[in-house]
Amino acid sequence: MKILSAIIIAPHMHESGAINAGKCLSAATAEYCQVDIAIMAFDEKVSLLDKARLLERKSSNFLSFTKELLPNKFRTLFYRSDIPSLISQGDYDLVHIHNPIPALEMKRVAQACITKNIPYVVSTHGFVEVTSGGSAYSLKHLHEKLAWKFFLENPLNYVIKNATKIFALSPLEYPMLEQLGVDNQKLSVVTNGVNHIFYSRKTATDINLVAERFGLPKLADKKNPVCIYLGNHTKNKGLEILLDAFTQSKKAFTLIVCGKKRDIIDYDSYLQKCHTHQHIVFTDRVSNEEIISLFQYSDLFVYPTLSDTLPLVILEAMASGLPILSTQVGGIPYQVDANSGVLVEAGNANAVTEAFEMMTENLQQLREMGTCAYHAVKSKFDWHQSGQLAFTNYTEILHPYQAQYPVKSLIR
């Protein structure tokens, strides 16, 4: 069996959790069959990701000349690659599509499969955001909403309609997918897992070195509860909600905000709002090794996202032993229960403030909640299990095709 895993993503967005999830699932599936991972990139490159072959395919954008004129989020919609030609000229038995943006390119990949009579499946990374009608990104103007409909929702609906199977990340997506016209028989839950590096434990020396790098006190000198956020600094991830929630609190805290800084946020204004014994650190970009140390330095992971499908970062924080304060959106209630965290209404800064103050009132109880989070993620979210389940689905899909279209092999 030969699978093409097509990851649809603008080349400048490779740090997305959905992209990491697509790569991890593909690598796990490569334990059972032959897998090529094709991903949109600025330059062509071939490498290995465990047993999978990673094909970075050069992408183009006819709006590249508008870099100084148009917002990046608009140009993102029009990236194209040669992934459809890989399908039409290749010998793949099945295509697995990951990530829905740019949706026009996702549709081109689906059309290439249909033309060659190859079945394709789609994982639901990003579906919650794309099907939000633009509310996840606070779109208000009519032209923005029309662009969202024609360049995102319509292509996605086409891809969903013609897919052989939809891999939902959690059962909580079933009502949304039914509203999109997906028959239950086309649905299977193939959820996310966790990169095992997040289970590794850092020494106090390692953690203190990273803490010093970001101007934080040593572990032994911590006095205030330490909360951490990791994610894109975009409206849909709720960073401004987070900052409003913490700067309106009177309680002492240290808040570590990880992720690339953006011009749209006035970071200094939030620093100026902090009271005595309140400290916010904006790290900008961080490596995985730094993230692991900062997770193990912290007491609570706070992620007040406005729209998410099944965020990988929550699972990574849980694997590091952190309790979760997040929102009741997408599949997050499938990840976080009452033993491992607290979920509040999305977009409500007051609710985030109250939950933070309540959860950090008793740090021993908070640590116990973190232990529950660790055990929950370890038992429920595993890439090897998800890879095996994906392979089982591929096999079931391809059996009806065998009589008419030869399939290379159902084993590696």
Q: Where are the domains of the chain?
A: 2-193+382-402, 196-379
Q: What are phi and psi of 111, to 5 degrees?
A: -65, -35
Mean pLDDT of 275-294: 95
Residue with tokens 């995102």: 152
User: What CATH number labels 196-379?
Assistant: 3.40.50.2000
Percent of the chain at pLDDT > 70 equals 92
Residue with tokens 């109880």: 365
What the block records as the tokens of 166 is 């939809």
DSSP bridge partners of 230: 258
Residue 366 near residue 360, CB atoms below 8 Å: yes
Residue 236's pLDDT band (cuts 50, 70, 90) = confident
Q: Which of 403, 219, 177, 184 is nearest to 309 (CA)?
A: 177
Phi-psi region for residue 138, left (φ > 0), alpha (ψ -120 to 50) or beta?
Answer: left
pLDDT of residue 412: 46
Mean pLDDT of 374-402: 92
pLDDT of residue 401: 62
Secondary structure E strands in 262-394: 278-284, 300-303, 324-327, 341-344
* 61-75, 199-213, 339-353, 373-387: least confident range: 61-75
* Architecture in CATH of 2-193+382-402: 3-Layer(aba) Sandwich (3.40)
Say if residue 251's pLDDT is above 80. Answer: yes
Say if residue 12's pLDDT is above 90. Answer: no
3 state SS of 108: helix
* 219-228, 358-367, 403-412: least confident range: 403-412
In whole angstroms, how far apart are CA 206 and each of 171, 174, 292? Answer: 39, 43, 10
Question: What gap in Å lies between CA 275 and CA 232, rounded to an integer?
Answer: 26
Whole-model pTM: value is: 0.90
- The number of C-alpha atoms within 13 Å of 155 and in the hemisphere containing its C-beta is 22
Q: Which of 325, 342, 354 is nearest to 248 (CA)?
A: 354
Q: Which residue has the higher pLDDT, 314 or 133?
A: 314
DSSP state of 82: S
Mean pLDDT of 302-313: 94
Residue 82 near residue 58, CB atoms below 8 Å: yes
Say if residue 109's pLDDT is above 90. Answer: yes
Say if residue 410's pLDDT is above 70. Answer: no
Say if residue 48's pLDDT is above 50. Answer: yes
Express each pLDDT in 321-345 by its tens digit: 999 999 999 999 999 999 999 999 9
Residue 336 near residue 343, CB atoms below 8 Å: yes
Residue with tokens 């998410």: 308
Residue 277 near residue 215, CB atoms below 8 Å: no
* 115-129, 135-149, 193-207, 268-282: least confident range: 135-149
- Supply the Cα-derived Rg of the chain in whole angstroms: 22
Asked whether the domain spanning 196-379 has the same topology as the one spanning 2-193+382-402, the reply is: yes
Residue 200 near residue 291, CB atoms below 8 Å: no
Say if residue 139's pLDDT is above 80. Answer: no
pLDDT of residue 134: 59
Mean pLDDT of 243-266: 95
What the block records as the tokens of 245 is 């929630």
pLDDT of residue 402: 58
Q: Which of 310, 20, 317 is nearest to 190 (CA)?
A: 310
Say if residue 37's pLDDT is above 80. Answer: yes
Q: What are phi and psi of 4, to 5 degrees?
A: -105, 120
Measure the CA angle with vertex 206, ends 203 and 209; round to 5°: 145
Residue 137's pLDDT band (cuts 50, 70, 90) = low
Give me the chain's average pLDDT, please: 91
Say if residue 382's pLDDT is above 60. Answer: yes
Question: What gap in Å lies between CA 320 and CA 387, rounded to an integer?
Answer: 22
Q: Which of 251, 253, 231, 226 is nearest to 241 (CA)?
A: 231
Residue 69's pLDDT band (cuts 50, 70, 90) = low
Residue 185's pLDDT band (cuts 50, 70, 90) = very high
pLDDT of residue 312: 95
Residue 264's pLDDT band (cuts 50, 70, 90) = confident
Question: What gap in Å lies between CA 224 and CA 400, rounded to an integer?
Answer: 60
Q: Would you say how long the chain is, in residues?
A: 412
Phi-psi region for residue 112, left (φ > 0), alpha (ψ -120 to 50) or beta?
Answer: alpha
pLDDT of residue 75: 77
Residue 309 near residue 126, CB atoms below 8 Å: yes
Q: Which residue has the higher pLDDT, 16 or 22?
A: 22
